[in-house]
Amino acid sequence: MKNLGILISGRGSNMESILKAIAKKKIPITPSIVISNRPDAKGLKIAEKLGVKTEVVESKGFKGTRWDYDQEIIRVLKKHGVSQKNGLVCLAGFMRIISPEFVKKYKNRIINIHPALLPSFPGLDSQRQALEYGSKYSGCTVHFVNAGMDTGPIIIQAVVKIKEDDTEESLSKRILKEEHKIYPKAVSLFAQDKIKVQGRKTIISV
């Protein structure tokens, strides 16, 4: 079985959906460690309640380069068995850009969830971007992390219709509901070796 490391910065609702799916035996993977860059991340308490180990690698005031910081993260991941050979790293609201060196070391082993239909609206405040643009549909995307910003091969997407009276809050809420469905699904596919990466594309075997 593969080992899962989840990186968070805050609320941790996506992490929670993954950990609960694992607890219900819906995903064949070991939840090895949850790491936060912020000591006050709410998700840390949720992970502890669910019986998953947590560690904090504080980024505020960290002296060193981005890669120095990421090496600390890698050290903690490896300590808990989340290796380059047998690990999966899920970014779940981790509010930091990952260094290219980290991406390279864990090639096609780091995945992220983004609250828009990529390649539309990468970066921050995607729900607001979609509303301001006047999109009729948005959604969410689980994708592999590459050296770019939200540009890696797409694994799963879910579509959410935008209503005329939507606010950033109401749209975010409906998108989040879909995030909680597709992220555990993507982790499950990875855990079962059902995702092949071919260039920019992923081929999913069912």
Count of CA atoms in the C-beta half-sphere (13 A) of 136: 0
Pattern of binders to ligand GRF over 34-73, x per CB under 6 A?
Answer: ----------------------------------------
Give the span between the Cα atoms of 2 and 4, in whole angstroms: 7
**Position 14 contacts ligand GRF (CB under 6 A):** yes
Whichever of 5 and 93 has its CB closer to ligand GRF, that residue is 93
**Position 184 contacts ligand GRF (CB under 6 A):** no
Residues 102-121 that bind ligand GRF (CB under 6 A): 113-115
**Position 7 contacts ligand GRF (CB under 6 A):** no
**Position 92 contacts ligand GRF (CB under 6 A):** yes
The residue within the footprint of ligand GRF, chosen from 11, 96, 177, 194 (CB under 6 A), is 11
CA nearest to 178, candidates 200, 204, 160, 192: 160
Mark residue 187 as left, alpha or beta (left: phi above 0; alpha: psi -120 to 50; beta: remaining).
Answer: alpha
Burial zone of 32 (CB within 10 Å; 0-12 exposed, 13-18 middle, 19+ buried) = buried
Whichever of 36 and 99 has its CB closer to ligand GRF, that residue is 36
